Amino acid sequence: MSAQNVEIVRRAYAHTQATGRVHARVIAPDFIWDMSKFPWPEQQLYEGADGAQAFLDDWTDVWDDWEFEVEAFADAGDKVVAIVRQRGRAKATGMTVDMSFAKVWTVREGKLTRMEMYADPAQALKAVDLENGVTPEAETP
């Protein structure tokens, strides 16, 4: 089942990269987008697909030329860690950013039920007891 969970998360990222929208079809009705483990000064919890999209819109609205790529996945059974790199230039200051962070996704019955964001990928891996369990995206089928 866990390989299927990684594929669900992978497809969700591919959808977002292609459309700029969250993949609502794979988000459970009780989905929670949790920013409490990330230094995010705004709202900490977002609910459902609409909440996830609201966060994504808020996050990307401050950037010019924003992009992201998944560098690696870590399979932790019903949880999947995605190590993500984002790049962009702040609209307000022109400052550029190139940073990695991680998201821990919980998958239940083929649906995303929770996302917890971490500024430090090592902390995300530790949270699911997988300090060394990363699969580089370029090497996955």
For the domain made up of 2-132, the CATH class stated in words is alpha beta
pLDDT band at 39 (very low <50, low <70, confident <90, very high): confident
Domain coordinates in residue numbering, the chain: 2-132
> pTM of the prediction?
0.89
Average pLDDT over residues 86-97: 94
Q: Measured between alpha carbons, how far is residue 6 from residues 46, 47, 73, 92 in Å?
A: 22, 22, 7, 36
